[in-house]
Chains A and B, each alone.
Chain A
Amino acid sequence: MSSTINGAGPLLRAVGLSKHFPLESSLLASLRGAEARTVKAVEAVSLDVYAGQTLAIVGESGSGKSTLGRLLLRLTRPTAGRVLYKDKNIFSMKRGELRAFRRQAQIILQDPYASLNPRMRVGRIIREPLDIYREGSRAERDRRAHMLLERVGLTSAHARAYPSELSGGQRQRVGIAAALALSPEIIIADEPTSSLDVSVQAQTLNLLSELQRDFNLTYVFITHDLGVVQHFSDRVAVMYLGRIVEEAPTEALFAAPQHPYTQVLFSAIPLPDPTRRVNWDLPKGEPPSPLDPPSGCHFHPRCPKVMTACSAIEPPLKATGPARRVACLLFEAEADLPQTKGD
Chain B
Amino acid sequence: MRRIRALRDRLRLWQAASRSAFLGGTIILVLVIITATVSLYSPYSPEAMDFMAPLSGPTGAHLLGTDNFGRDILTRVLYGYQISLAVALGSVGFGLAVGVALGLLAGYYGGLIDNIIMRPMDVLMAFPAIVLVVALTGFVGREISVMVLAVAVVYVPIFARVMRGSTLEVVNELYVEGARARGASHLRLMLRHILPNAIAPVLIQASILMGIAILLESALSFIGLGTQPPDPSLGLMLSEGRSFMQQAPWMVVAPGLAISIAVLGFNLLGNGLQDLLNPARKGGR
Would you call A237 an interface residue if the criterion is a C-beta within 8 Å of the partner chain's C-beta atoms?
Answer: no
- Chain A residues within 8 Å of B283, by CB: 113, 118, 163-164
Would you call A305 an interface residue if the criterion is a C-beta within 8 Å of the partner chain's C-beta atoms?
Answer: no
**Which residue of chain B lies nearest to A124 when distances are taken between CB atoms in the complex?**
B192
Among the listed A111, A117, A182, which residue makes an inter-chain contact with B193, where contact means beta carbons less than 8 Å apart?
Answer: A117
Among the listed A75, A99, A117, A182, which residue makes an inter-chain contact with B175, where contact means beta carbons less than 8 Å apart?
Answer: A117
Would you call B179 an interface residue if the criterion is a C-beta within 8 Å of the partner chain's C-beta atoms?
Answer: yes
Q: Is the interface of B mostly helix, strand, loop or mixed?
A: helix
Of A47-55, A126-134, A332-340, the one contacting chain B is: A126-134
Give Cα A6–Cα B196 distance, bound, in whole angstroms: 48
Bitwise interface map of B from 96 to 128 toward A, beta carbon under 8 Å scored 1, else 0: 000000000000000000000000000000000
Give Cα A113–Cα B282 distance, bound, in whole angstroms: 10
Would you call A194 an interface residue if the criterion is a C-beta within 8 Å of the partner chain's C-beta atoms?
Answer: no
* Shortest distance between the CB of A125 and any CB in chain B (Å): 8
Among the listed B177, B178, B197, which residue makes an inter-chain contact with A119, where contact means beta carbons less than 8 Å apart?
Answer: B197
* Shortest distance between the CB of B219 and any CB in chain A (Å): 38
Contact of B179 with A75 in the complex, beta carbons under 8 Å = no
Contact of A102 with B285 in the complex, beta carbons under 8 Å = no
Contact flag A102-B183 (CB < 8 Å), given A165-B2, A165-B6: yes
On chain B, the number of residues with a Cβ less than 8 Å from chain A's Cβ atoms is 23
**Size bracket of the A interface:** 20 to 34
Give Cα A91–Cα B180 distance, bound, in whole angstroms: 15
- Chain B residues within 8 Å of A119, by CB: 196-197
Give Cα A172–Cα B251 distance, bound, in whole angstroms: 65
- Chain B residues within 8 Å of A115, by CB: 174-175, 178
Would you call B181 an interface residue if the criterion is a C-beta within 8 Å of the partner chain's C-beta atoms?
Answer: yes
* Shortest distance between the CB of B282 and any CB in chain A (Å): 8
Contact of A106 with B182 in the complex, beta carbons under 8 Å = yes
Would you call A162 an interface residue if the criterion is a C-beta within 8 Å of the partner chain's C-beta atoms?
Answer: yes
Bitwise interface map of B from 171 to 190 toward A, beta carbon under 8 Å scored 1, else 0: 00111011111111100100
Contact flag A102-B181 (CB < 8 Å), given A118-B283, A132-B188: yes
**Which residue of chain A lies nearest to B193 when distances are taken between CB atoms in the complex?**
A117
Give Cα A75–Cα B283 distance, bound, in whole angstroms: 25
Would you call B43 an interface residue if the criterion is a C-beta within 8 Å of the partner chain's C-beta atoms?
Answer: no
- Chain A residues within 8 Å of B197, by CB: 117-119
- Within A93-144, the residues touching B (CB, 8 Å) are 98-99, 102-103, 105-107, 109-111, 113-120, 128-129, 132-133
Contact of A128 with B284 in the complex, beta carbons under 8 Å = no
Contact flag A111-B174 (CB < 8 Å), given A119-B197, A164-B283, A165-B6: yes
Residue from B2, B173, B283 with most neighbouring chain A CB atoms (10 Å): B283
Contact of B181 with A75 in the complex, beta carbons under 8 Å = yes
**Which residue of chain A lies nearest to B282 when distances are taken between CB atoms in the complex?**
A118
Contact of A107 with B284 in the complex, beta carbons under 8 Å = no
Contact of A102 with B178 in the complex, beta carbons under 8 Å = no
Give Cα A178–Cα B175 distance, bound, in whole angstroms: 12
Would you call A73 an interface residue if the criterion is a C-beta within 8 Å of the partner chain's C-beta atoms?
Answer: yes
Contact flag A128-B179 (CB < 8 Å), given A118-B283, A164-B283, A165-B6: yes
Residue from B178, B185, B284, B285 with most neighbouring chain A CB atoms (10 Å): B178
Contact of B284 with A75 in the complex, beta carbons under 8 Å = no
Among the listed A111, A113, A129, which residue makes an inter-chain contact with B182, where contact means beta carbons less than 8 Å apart?
Answer: A129
- Within A182-218, the residues touching B (CB, 8 Å) are 182
* Shortest distance between the CB of A153 and any CB in chain B (Å): 18
Contact of A109 with B284 in the complex, beta carbons under 8 Å = no
- Chain A residues within 8 Å of B175, by CB: 114-118
Among the listed B174, B188, B196, B285, which residue makes an inter-chain contact with A109, where contact means beta carbons less than 8 Å apart?
Answer: B174
- Within A146-189, the residues touching B (CB, 8 Å) are 162-165, 175, 178, 182
- Chain B residues within 8 Å of A98, by CB: 183
* Shortest distance between the CB of A83 and any CB in chain B (Å): 14
Contact of A117 with B181 in the complex, beta carbons under 8 Å = no
Give Cα A107–Cα B184 distance, bound, in whole angstroms: 13
* Shortest distance between the CB of A192 and any CB in chain B (Å): 12
Residue from B177, B182, B281 with most neighbouring chain A CB atoms (10 Å): B182
Among the listed A117, A118, A165, A182, which residue makes an inter-chain contact with B179, where contact means beta carbons less than 8 Å apart?
Answer: A117
**Which residue of chain A lies nearest to B182 when distances are taken between CB atoms in the complex?**
A129
Give Cα A165–Cα B179 distance, bound, in whole angstroms: 21
Q: Please name 27 pairs of A and B residues whose Cβ atoms are closer than 8 Å in the assembled complex, sorted by A.
A: A75-B177, A75-B180, A99-B183, A105-B181, A106-B181, A109-B177, A109-B178, A111-B174, A114-B174, A115-B174, A116-B175, A117-B175, A117-B179, A117-B197, A118-B197, A118-B283, A119-B196, A128-B182, A128-B184, A128-B192, A132-B185, A162-B284, A164-B284, A165-B2, A165-B6, A178-B182, A182-B182
Which positions in B face A, CB cutoff 8 Å? 2, 6, 173-175, 177-185, 188, 192-193, 196-197, 281, 283-285
Beyond the given pairs A110-B174, A111-B174, A120-B192, 11 more chain A to chain B contacts, judged by CB atoms under 8 angstroms and listed by A's residue number, are: A75-B177, A102-B183, A105-B181, A114-B175, A115-B178, A117-B179, A118-B283, A133-B183, A165-B6, A175-B178, A178-B182
